[in-house]
Amino acid sequence: MSVHKPEPVSIFDKRIVGPALVSSLKKLNPIELWRNPVMLCVEIASVITLVTFILSLTGTNKEPAWFTGQVSVWLWLTVIFANFSEALAEGRGKARAASLRSSRTSVTAKLLSKPEFNAAFTSVGASQLRKGDLILVGANEIIAGDGDVIAGAALVNEAAVTGESAPVVRESGGDRSAVTGGTTVIANSIIVRITANPGETFLDRMIGLIEGAKRRKTPNEIALEVLLIALTLVFLLVCINISPLSIYSVKAAGQGTPVSLTVLTALFVCLAPTTIAALLPAIGIAGMDRLFQKNVIALSGRAIEAAGDVNVLLLDKTGTITHGNREAVAFVPVSGHTEQDVAEAALMASLADETPEGRSVVALAREKFGLKSATLPADAEVIEFSAETRLSGINAGRDQFRKGAADSTIAFVQKNGCINIPANLSDAVDTIARDGATPLVVCNGCNIIGVINLKDIVKAGIQERFLQLRSMGIKTVMITGDNPLTAAAIAAEAQVDDFLAQAKPEDKLRLIKENQEAGFMVAMTGDGTNDAPALAQADVAVAMNTGTQPAREAANIIDLDSNPTKLLDIVEVGKQILMTRGNLTTFSISNDVAKYFAIIPAMMLSVYPQLGVLNIMHLATPLSAILSAVIFNAIIIPLLVPLALKGTKFRPMPAEKLLIHNLLIYGLGGIVAPFIGIKGIDMVVGMFV
Amino acid sequence: MEKLEWLQTALFFLVLLATVKPLGGFMARLFQGERTLLSPVLGPVERLIYRVCGVSQEDEMDWKRYAWSMILFNVVLFISLFGILMTQHLLPLNPQKVPAFTWQLALNTAISFVTNTNWQAYVGEQAASYFTQMVGLTVHNFVSAATGISVAIAVIRGFARRRTSQIGNFWVDMTRCTLYVLVPISLIAALLLVSQGAIQNFSPYKTVPLVQAITYDTPKKDAQGNSLKDAKGNPVTESVTAKEVTIPMGPVASQEAIKELGTNGGGFFNANSAHPFENPTPFSHLLEILLILLIPGALTHTFGVMVGNSRQGWAILGVMLFLLIGSFAVLQWAETAGNPLVAKLGVSGVNMEGKELRFGLAGTNLFEVATTGTSCGAVAAMHDSLTPIGGMIPLSLILLGEIVFGGVGSGLYTMLAFAIIAVFVSGLMIGRTPEYLGKKIEVREMWMSIVTVLIAGVTVLIVTAVAMITPSAVASMANPGAHGLSEVLYAFASMANNNGSAFAGLNANVNFYNLWGSLAMMLGRYVPAVAMLAMAGSLAEKKYVPPSLGTLPTDKVPFALWLTLVILIVGALTFFPALSLGPIVEHLTMLGGN
């Protein structure tokens, strides 16, 4: 299966950087900046310094024009860099959205009057389709809108949405009835009932999300913004406070000049948490984009962040923990029969069984027991698996080969009039079940021959992933329809923390509710319609793209690859977004220490020369010190753009260790880095001044 | 430090720590409505009070009702105290026939005592009658302390409770706090103080002849009481000869006990705890320091017990202790190093200017960090006479927001606001929606804790800025220059953070300080209280998130260190410029030899 992932776009791709530069100038519009109050303050500060620059050109302001001019330029650049980082993140999304939109070109649909293949139809544009309309889609036609197949079955190429070239079957009824607008039918015809109005389709929503057009700030983002705004306000007051204090100090000391407006403005911008405020929008957008690179579409930023908080993960056993299909690995004879007997009977009972399990029985019997030539007898009557008998097999002549669960087979044998059940049967069955395998009992007529050992193969490497999850404090719960014994054995092998055996939809729902009541955040993956209630209840609900429409509607994250272990990636990205924000906030605020040491002695030096002691970086002159701090504050933004877009690296480890680790890097680093940076810039500035 | 000073300091902290668990546990039981040791005696009194006042113990309040009750009660208290101050010349127990307060001073004083600030722009023994001291000020010492504790208890309930809007009954909390905690401890403490020589009487002031007449210089003042200054800005002094001395009397011990216990700090006498009638012996001195730290320390354990994990309380106490001991160490260092300028004059040794010899250096320093770390504000030495860095310690402790033990109740809830901010940032850094004590920290909690943490600092920044450009405010400084700036910064820091101690040297009984100070005290008291109650309301409604491996433990050393860092960083970033223009430049000037 070849999965075509969206082409990874380099961070500074030419096609994106160009438009982003233009867009970052457009975003200087104060109305646009309103969404980012901290940067709006910086823009106002830039305007103020522009005025002081003009005044120093005219001579009204005594400060040298090269200084006020430079400060003004770097403050403007601070705003532009912030806009640029956001535009860059959006640009990456837009480039992807554009490729999606191309698949949404004008499509005409055959609108049916009634749900019959030969009913009369009228051709209408896709934009005219409404919920509930019925359309007919034939081979090589594009499906005009999202909907459910209500009649027929067809092979559909969904590459437009999933990037996967292998076509998939979509058929009425069951769990594979959902079709997505923009995908193409390759063979056969289907009748589709439209389930979304134009503009609200899956593709539309995806495009909107990727472009960032519908991006709403998450609660967490807002809470952080509250902190940033409050800090900005405090620093504004600190700077305003310095003015009268310095006026008083000049009078008291009898020397020097009060701090100028340019310097105060510069100090304010340096102190305000501009680094994090500038990168905040980009972090969220980039997070969604990173998920999209993994072929996962989050329907809201909130869902991704919630994923970072998940404590309990409900995983379907089949397909997630184990390979979808069980395989026959052994034949166990019961009293009076040989292994060969079991192999033969099992083979006969399975020859007509086209399920993967059935085929694995046939393969085992043929390869290990020399039964290569055995074929279905001509007179064989195939007994399909039915919900009532829960058995399958064939009748051929006098033979009645059956295989099924122990209780069903015993019931069958007893119905045939045999009360004599081999004594060691239950032992054999239990031994297999205790190992987490599935015992299938084989009989012929009223004669029980033996047991097939059908084993669930746990995916390689799954244990390590669960171990990672556990170290992050996430509990994994396996959900399976198996009996408790089987479930326990597989749970032990896969090393999940808990399991829910013989799970019915209402059991899943109850399990989620119980965990939520206990205060946990629950994530689950699902694809079937019967998963929909549980998905709707879960905090993070990942629907497989191959899933049914109800499942997709109920979910808040869609996995285009339909690979349930994706949840681990989603959790990781969710955590990365929060961590990147937290780390950059700490970094941004830690930077202020060095900036104080650069600016405070510089601005008060004329009044109190003693404060020169605080100039521990030995910056050349007061003006170069202030300028260096401003320049550092501006260029740190583009330097951190790659980090904001990629996210800080996530290592699964206990919370306390992780905190110390990040505090050392971003807290301590945030204190040290600007000392080095400002000193370096000052040396360069010193060459020109 | 000398060996005995080490021993005394170590012993003191051991005794303090030994009180935390019993008293904290007692308060936890008390406020959860459980039976306590004192129930057999005080239970009937408590029930009688409820019957008379028509309060039902079962009638719980949501945060809005709780906050309204608190505010309404404080308004009534304010009006009653304002009334007493304005009419004290008509009221009994006024042997010195002191006149009424001016309305500006009465306003400032009433707000000061209602808000648990106890900023005193008046001189106790000269301006207040015994009636004012006892019925007015002492009563307020009790109820303002009880108000702070009640709010803290309601905030703790917010953390402890799940899925409810009820955070307790304000009247019940007030009654229990006063009846079971404040009154019994004050009673014992007052008796101990009397045993040491603190006075308790209603006698008129005594005038006694001096053994030897004294001639001294005193600052010359104009009609408004402002210090006169010569052309250079130096104070003008005049020579006075004194032959006799008036010794003020009064019911001191009863007020002294609650003054420390309730972290009020408003002294009976102007000299406050440096006065021998308030604080006669080294033992009474240590007792008073213990009283100051007693309830704020124990409340951390009450908090731990009520939220169901006493380690959480110890973590908070650890942070407080760390900051207190650290401040003490710096102060001790600065005062021991002394002033090199004085040393040049041939007077070597530690800086004992403005300190009482009977308390010693370490004893005095311990008192000063305790009284400024908590919002007590009683003083046993002249802060104005500390070395520049030494003086910065009390100032910094106040500017941190009164959380190093802090005011009774208010210290804990302000510290919890800091903890929430610390949890928020660290939560993000580990990639989780932040949670504290099992409660998710969301937008509302962030707003409320930020408002709580920053309101006092914001007020200080604004009001000192206004003061520096107001000529009448600048004229009140005793010392021009950086030291004068420290005085004004200290005054507003003290009022906005409800500390009430004064750097001295500033004539604060002028309209500017009385009125702006009143505003600062009200903002610093009620904005955090209401914000934290609002947060308690929202926290109580949240469900509990059980901790997992991914949860950051908030009861261990790394978080405690992080919390300490957050506190220091917020304080430093807010006040570094102002401090650098005040104490820091003074220190550098002193080192420079000027």
Inter-residue contact A626 to A595 (CB < 8 Å): no
Task: Tell me the pLDDT tens digit for each residue of B205-242.
Answer: 998 888 888 888 877 777 676 777 777 767 777 788 88
CA A31 to chain B, closest CA, distance in angstroms equals 24
CA B536 to chain A, closest CA, distance in angstroms equals 17
Q: Quick check: A240 contacting B, CB < 8 Å?
A: yes
What are the tokens at B135?
């019925």
What are the tokens at A610?
């003693």
Contact B464 A245 (CB under 8 A): yes
Give B212's contacts (C-beta < 8 A, 6+ positions apart). none
Q: What is the pLDDT of residue A3?
A: 37
Of A305, A473, A658, the CB nearest to B433: A305
Of B461, B546, B565, the CB nearest to A518: B546
Q: Quick check: A584 contacting B, CB < 8 Å?
A: no
Q: What is the pLDDT of residue A293?
A: 80
Q: Which residues of A are catalytic?
A: 316
Interface size A-B, in CB pairs within 8 Å, comes to: 208
Q: Quick check: A473 contacting B, CB < 8 Å?
A: yes
CA B574 to chain A, closest CA, distance in angstroms equals 6
Least CA distance to B547: which residue of chain A?
A: A473
Contact A656 B462 (CB under 8 A): no
Q: How far is CA A125 from CA A134, A135, A145, B592, in A?
A: 13, 11, 10, 86
Report the largest interatomic distance among the alpha carbons of chain A, rounded to a whole angstrom.
120
Of A238, A247, A575, the CB nearest to B577: A238
Tell me how crowded residue A667 is: count the other CB atoms within 10 A of its CB: 22
Q: How far is CA A588 from CA A366, A638, B173, B423, in A?
A: 69, 14, 43, 17
Of A226, A252, A308, the CB nearest to B432: A308
Residues of chain B with Cβ-Cβ distance to A596 below 8 Å are: 573, 576-577
Inter-residue contact B124 to B133 (CB < 8 Å): yes
Q: What is the pLDDT of residue B260?
A: 95
Q: Quick check: A301 contacting B, CB < 8 Å?
A: no
Q: Quick check: A244 contacting B, CB < 8 Å?
A: yes
CA B480 to chain A, closest CA, distance in angstroms equals 6
| pTM of the full structure | 0.84
Contact A237 B458 (CB under 8 A): yes
Q: What is the pLDDT of residue A99?
A: 67
Of A252, A614, A654, the CB nearest to B580: A614
* DSSP line for A197-248: -TTSSHHHHHHHHHHTTT----HHHHHHHHHHHHHHHHHHHHHHHHHHHHHH
Q: What is the pLDDT of residue B176?
A: 96
Residues of chain A with Cβ-Cβ distance to B573 below 8 Å are: 234-235, 238, 271, 589, 592, 596
Residues of chain A with Cβ-Cβ distance to B590 below 8 Å are: none
CA B548 to chain A, closest CA, distance in angstroms equals 5
Q: Which residue in A608, A615, A626 has the most chain B C-beta atoms within 10 A of its own C-beta, making it the best mutation to test that interface?
A: A608
Give B234's contacts (C-beta < 8 A, 6+ positions apart). none
Contact A582 B427 (CB under 8 A): yes
Tell me the backbone φ, ψ of residue B210, rounded to 5 degrees.
-80, 145
489-518 in A: which are within 8 Å (CB) of B?
Answer: 517-518
Contact A223 B574 (CB under 8 A): no
Contact B552 A656 (CB under 8 A): yes
Q: Which residue in B229, B389, B432 has the most chain A C-beta atoms within 10 A of its own C-beta, making it the best mutation to test that interface?
A: B432
What are the tokens at A159?
């590459």
Residues of chain A with Cβ-Cβ distance to B446 below 8 Å are: 223, 226-227
d(CA B297, CA B98): 39
Of B450, B462, B553, the CB nearest to A230: B450
Q: How many helices (H) and strands (E) does chain B have?
A: 22, 4
Task: Tell me the pLDDT tens digit for each residue of B125-142.
Answer: 889 999 999 899 999 999
Contact B428 A224 (CB under 8 A): yes
d(CA B494, CA B386): 17
Q: How far is CA A473 from CA A116, A236, A341, B213, B426, in A?
A: 54, 41, 50, 79, 16
Residues of chain B with Cβ-Cβ distance to A602 below 8 Å are: none
Of A219, A245, A518, the CB nearest to B485: A245
Q: What is the pLDDT of residue A174?
A: 67
Q: Quick check: A606 contacting B, CB < 8 Å?
A: no
Q: Residue ranges of chain A with pLDDT lower than 50?
A: 1-6
Going by C-alpha positions, the residue among A207, A297, A290 that lies closest to residue A8 is A290
Angle at A148 between CA A142 and CA A151, to 5 degrees: 90
Contact A604 B580 (CB under 8 A): yes
Q: What is the pLDDT of residue B75?
A: 97
Least CA distance to B586: which residue of chain A?
A: A610
Going by C-alpha positions, the residue among B459, B461, B582, B480 that lies closest to residue A604 is B582
Of B430, B457, B469, the CB nearest to A655: B430
Q: Quick check: A308 contacting B, CB < 8 Å?
A: yes
Inter-residue contact A604 to B580 (CB < 8 Å): yes
Contact B429 A596 (CB under 8 A): no
Q: Residue ranges of chain B with pLDDT lower than 50?
A: none
